[in-house]
Every structure is written in structure tokens, then in C-alpha cells.
Amino acid sequence: MSAGRIIVVDDQPKIRRFMRTTLVAEGYEVGEAKTGEEALERIRELRPDLVVLDMNMPGMGGLAACRAIRKDSDIAIIMLTVRNSEEDKVAALDAGADDFVTKPFNTPELMARIRAALRRVPSAQSSPKKIRVGEIVIDFGERTVSRENVSTHLTPKELDLLRYLTQHANEVLSHRELLQAVWGPDYGDQVDYLRVFVKNLRKKMEPNPEHPQYITTEPWVGYRLKGTVESL
Amino acid sequence: MLRRRPVRVLVSLSGVAVVTYVAYRLIPVNATTVGFAYLLLILIVASIWGFLEAAWSSILATLVFNFFFLPPVGTFTIADPQNWVALSSFLATSLIASRLSAKARARATEAIERQRDLERLYTFSRAMLLSDKGAPFAKQLVEKLAESFDLEGIVLYERHTGEFHCVGLSGPEGMEDELRHAALPGGASMDARHPYVIVGVSRGSEPVASMALRGATMQQSVLQAVANLVAIGLEQARAQDLAQQVEAARQSEQLRTTLIDAMAHEFKTPLTLIKAATTSLLANPDVPAESRKEQLTIADEEAEHLRELIDDAIEMARLDTARIEIHPEMANLHDTLQDVLASMQTEIDEHPVRITCQGTLPAMAFDKRLMKLAIRQLLDNALKYTPGETPVEMAAQVRDGLMTVEVTDYGQGIPAAEQLRIFERFYRSPSVKHQIPGSGLGLSITHGIVRAHNGELTLSSQPGRTTFRITLPVLRQEVS
């Protein structure tokens, strides 16, 4: 049984070949695409669990491809960037990537990131499928959040983050705790990730994202979800 | 000779003597006619030379008029009181008329001088505008100034550089301190120290330079105008220098950043593969021998690729497209193309690349290393800007004393507007700039190399087909 299905999108044939060999050795099924356009097609055909997406490609480019994938799919996306700059990181996460790795990468680290992206926060057996926090309804089965009858889709990492926050409602959660719970034990210092994902969550559920009433920032510490959680 | 006043006075007096002689001895006329003849002579003298000459002539004319023509003739005495009136009227008339005519003459002279000064100022300002960009401006400025105003010599002291520029003189001739003083705030005044006129040059209230002029006959106002023009010229030259420096700095900064960008992109692929292979090997020491070998091969190949990229980048940064020196040697074009192809296997990857040579290519003289670099750039572009499996064709032929190399790709083509700028240094098509790494140097360097061979690099492109063509004259005299 395969550990998961992965599509590698990179315009450099050598990098694709290397990734394929390495990923197959790790037990994944691997598909390839040379461009963003081809990646979209491949994703429709193969329904992968994860996409490793190069940021700089001819044609539509990595960021546009990432946004296009995110528009109608929840699959995990790891972006490969060339520059290790704040700008690129935020751009990648903003475009909907779950994580990013800077080239040149360390192979074991990339594998760890892939495992982390594929892993999901396990929902406790007793945890309800649908809950209400204030005026917000979160449907973990449907992966949606609704406010005033407008429902918005959540990406897997957004959903994981929100699930962890609701499971610990009204507690102050540190950046490190959140990162390790949602991304995995290898994480802890990537505060940027949280900033982008919390910003996206706020956009989807807060009446006024500039002055959040549900997900509040605890300066220098982390975040807190305010409100009473009721199961529906 | 007539420049000197005593000579002119003498000539005027002789004129009076001649009129007297003619009227007294040759054509005897009456006193009234002689009087008018004197008057006419005096007017002419006044209008040509001035009042002093005319006044001396008037006095002499009055005396001889009295002596030779007023009775009793032959004496200075006058019998009839009416003649006293006539004589005094004659003297008064001649003096007043000569005064008026001399004044008119002085005005005319002044007007002519003014006009000449204006013409000189104009010539000088025009010469300043048309200065040669290559030579130092201040030096040209003093030369033009000396030429326009017929000066014997000039020393110009520039305050911000502290330099002295001389023309017509071997050096500042001991005027350094005075010139420095004249170029200080408050020190800028006009100062005549024979044979020099020292003048401060300031822009607004800020002194910028000073000049010492030798042989200057111009008026104060003209001198001031010259000083202002010099100030404007110096200021403009300084601004231009500054702009040039800024431009040079910008170019070198742009070169630096584009090279860094290009490195960041192009170098990262081989580096990524090397790092990926080595980290993978280090993490799993127990991988099967076959897999281990493959990863080591990747690392090795990519290290080689990286070396080539670094060599290219160094070459590109070093080549100044304006001054490429070629060292032609005998070489075979077909072999050169094959060499290029062999060195680019990594980039070629899945592209089918075909070389066609028409007939047999004779050995020719060209700079093998540079020509390879030029063809590599064209091939690299064709590969880089077209999708994976698109074919690329290279064709070479020698005909009618011209050798041509063509690189054709079947990509989306280059828009007409971009074709005009594509050989510019650092120019990159806005449509691919952010997607395909590049420095914007490749084509400009290729262009430079081809031009250094007295050849031409041309481009024809339409959607679906783009051809870059190098045309070089075959250097037959080099064939041994």
C-alpha cells in the first residue's frame, strides 16, 4: 500500500527525476508535471494527496498555480522556493501553500515536511462533527465555516488549526504549541506560518478581521479562541 | 601709422595747408568759398578721427584764413570789423561742428563695439554648448573664451577641484593666491592688475571660480556677462559629471544585482541536486549500491554543470560589450557547433536539437572561445524560452565570403516591440522576466562578440518560429 500519492511540479527535468526516485523509495506513488498548467490537469486525473510545487516556472508560475489548485482542492501543497526571503515565504503561504522548503533543500528534511503535510490532526473519537462558537458554525465533516448563512471552505491546515483552537477554547496557546500540533514535532519557530494562516482564518470567520473577536492575538505568546463552544 | 594721435594731427594740419595752397596759388577763389572748403575739411577730420584733430585744424585754418584771404592779405591784422565777425563765426562753427561730428563718431564706435561684444558673447556661449564631451570641460572653456575674445592668455581657477587651467600662458604666473582669494565668498570683485584683469565667477551668491584675463579690452558689463557664462558652464559640466557618475554607479549596481539574481536562479538547480543527493546519502547509509551510484553520479554531473555556469558568469561579468578584443585562430565551424552542443547537454535535456551544415565548411579564422560563448547564448535562449520537447535547429553555411550560423526555435516568438530592444544590455522581456531566470546580458554579449568580428547579429521572429542569425565575413587572409 502506498504511503500517499504525490505530484512533483518542476520545470527542471533533473529535479523531477531525483524527486521521483527518492519519493518512490519512500513508498509514495509519484506523478510529474513540468508546468503549472500541466499540474492542474494532472491533479484532476490523479487526485493526489500532496503536490510539491516549484515557485519559479515558465508559464503561469508557481504562485498562480498554487492559487488555482487551492481554489478547488484541499490537497496539501508544499512550495519549493529559490530565495529564503520573508517575502517569498509569505507569498507562498498566502497563495495557499501549507508549507514551503527553500532550494537547495536537505532531502531528509523535505521528506519530513512531506510527512508532516500529509498528517492530519486526529479528531478525538468523541469530538463532534459540527460545532457553534458565537455566531459561527464550523462543520468539520464538510470542512466549512459559516457566518450569517455564508459558508466558506477551509483548507486542511486551516481546518486543523481551527480544530486545535476550538478543542482548547479560551486557553492561551503558544506559537510553538500550535505549530507542533498542526504541522508536527519538527516545527516550532515558524511564526510566519501562523500569522498567515490566522489571517486567512480571520478573513473567513471574523465579522471584522481587523478587530478579531474570536481568534485573538496574545502579544509575544500566541493566540486564543474566545467564545463558548457548543456541539450541534 | 595713423593710429597715433600726433601723426593724425599732423596729417590734419597738412590738409589745411593743402587747401590753402590750392586756393591761394592754383585756383584763386573768394574768401567765402575757401571758408567752406576749410569747414568741409574739418568736418571730415572730426568724423574720421575725433575732436582734438579737428580742433587743431580749426585753429590753424582760422589763422591761415585770416593771413591769406582776409584783407589786408599777408598780415594777421584785420581791417574791416565785419571780417572779425566772419572769422569768429568760422572758428565757432568749425569747433561746434567738429565736436558734434566727433560725438556721433564716438557713438557709432561704441555701438560697433557693443555689437562685437555681443557677437563674441554669443560665439562663446555657443562654443560652450557645443563642447566636446570627451575632453575636460574647464580646459575647453578657457580655450573657447580666449578664442572668442582674442585674449592673450587666461588662467581659470576652479574652486571645487582647486585646479588652474591656463591657455596662452605657461602657468598661473604667480597669481595663484589672488585667484584663490577672488574665488572666496566676499572676495569676488573685479580687479585690474596690469596686464591682467582678475574677475570672480559666482553662481548666485556662491563663488565657484575666478579668472585672470590678459589682453582684455572689454567693458565691465561684458566681463560680468562672461563671468556669468563661465559660471553657468562650469555648473552644467559639474552636473553632467555627477549624472554620469550616477549612471555608471547605477549600471554597475544593475550588473551586480542581475548577476546575483541570475546566479541565485541558475546556480540553485545544480546546487539543489547536489545537496539533495548528498543529504539523502548521508541520511541513509544503507541504500542499495545501485541507488547510491545514481545519487553520486547526479552529484558529480551537477558539480560539473555548476563549474560551467560559474565560468560563464565570470566571463559575462568580465566582458565589456563595448570593447571586446578578438583573437582569431583557424577553426572548423562544424566542430565548434558540436562542442557547443556537447557542453550543453544538461540544458538540452528533452529538446531535440539538430545541426545542419550545408556542404563542407572550410576552416576559417575566428575567436573560437568567444564565438562558442556567443552560440551558446543563442542556443541557451532557444532552450530556455521554449517548452520541454520543442525542437531547436542550428544551421551553418559558408557562401559568397560570408559565414552564417542560425539558431531557430519553435517557441511562441518575440513580440515586435521587444525585438528592437532585445540586444540592449540588461533588457529582459517583461513577459518572461519573472518566470525565467536570466541576466539580460546574454544577447548583448553575443551582439558584442559578433560585432567585434565585423559581423552582424539579426533576428527574425513570428509566433511559432524565431531565428537568430550570425553573419560574419570569412577572414581568408588568415588561412594558412
- Looking at beta carbons, which residues of chain B come within 8 Å of A15? 269, 272-273, 276
Residues A170, A77: one domain? no
Burial of B29 (0-12, 13-18, 19+ CB in 10 A): middle
Mean of pLDDT values over B330-354:
85
Cβ burial B440-451 (10 Å sphere, 16+ → b, else e): bbbbbbbbbbbe
Q: A14 and B436: CB-CB below 8 Å?
A: no
Sign, Cα dihedral of B59, B64, B70, B73? positive
Q: Which CATH superfamily is domain B329-478 in?
A: Histidine kinase-like ATPase, C-terminal domain (3.30.565.10)
Sequence-distant (≥ 6) Cβ neighbours of residue B466 within 8 angstroms: B382, B408, B409, B411, B413, B414, B459, B460
CATH number (domain holding residue A43): 3.40.50.2300
Residues A216, A144: one domain? yes
Q: What is the pLDDT of residues A183-232, one digit of tens each?
A: 888 888 888 889 889 998 999 889 999 999 999 999 889 999 998 888 88
Distance of CA B273 to the CA centre of its chain: 53
Q: Which of the four pLDDT bands, split at 50, 70 and 90, describes residue B478? A: very low
H/E run at residue B121: helix B81-129
Residues A135, A194: one domain? yes
Residues A42, A102: one domain? yes
Q: B280 and A83: CB-CB below 8 Å?
A: no
- Looking at beta carbons, which residues of chain B come within 8 Å of A83? 264
Closest CA to A152 of A48, A70, A45, A46: A70
- Pair B130, B75: CB distance under 8 Å: no
Q: B279 and A18: CB-CB below 8 Å?
A: no
The closest CB to that of A57, out of B269, B279, B435, belongs to B435
The closest CB to that of A13, out of B272, B349, B436, belongs to B349
Predicted TM-score of the model (pTM): 0.54
Residues A93, A165: one domain? no
Q: What's the pLDDT score for residue B2?
A: 63
Size of interface A-B (CB pairs under 8 A): 73
Q: Which of the four pLDDT bands, split at 50, 70 and 90, describes residue A28? A: very high
Final residue in a domain of this structure, among A87, A118, A149:
A118
Mean of pLDDT values over B157-169:
84
Please report, rounded to a whole number, the percentage of residues in chain B having pLDDT higher than 70: 92
Q: What's the pLDDT score for residue B150?
A: 84
Residues A138, A218: one domain? yes
Q: B interface toward A at CB cutoff 8 Å?
A: 264-265, 268-269, 271-277, 279-280, 283, 287, 291, 294, 298, 302, 346, 349-350, 385, 387-388, 432, 434-437
- Pair A184, A213: CB distance under 8 Å: no
Q: What's the pLDDT score for residue B224?
A: 86
CA dist B428 and B438 (Å) reads 8
Q: A14 and B273: CB-CB below 8 Å?
A: yes
ipTM: 0.72
The closest CB to that of B264, out of A57, A58, A83, belongs to A83
CA dist A78 and A88 (Å) reads 13
Mean of pLDDT values over B207-233:
84
Query: From the CA of A160, how many Å to the nearest CA of chain B?
Result: 30
Q: What is the pLDDT of residues B285-326, one digit of tens each?
A: 887 888 888 889 889 988 988 887 788 777 777 776 567 888
CA dist B163 and B43 (Å) reads 55
CATH number (domain holding residue A155): 1.10.10.10
Q: Match domain B132-243 to its CATH number in 3.40.1080.10, 3.30.450.40, 3.40.640.10, 3.40.50.300.
A: 3.30.450.40
Note down the domain range covering A103.
Answer: 5-118
Cβ–Cβ contacts within 10 Å for residue B62, how many?
20
Give chain A's end-to-end CA distance (angstroms, integer). Answer: 37
Which residues face A32 on adjacent strands?
A: A8
Residues A179, A149: one domain? yes
HEC states along B420-432?
CCCCCCCCCCCCC
Q: How many helices (H) and strands (E) does chain A have?
A: 8, 13
Residues A160, A208: one domain? yes
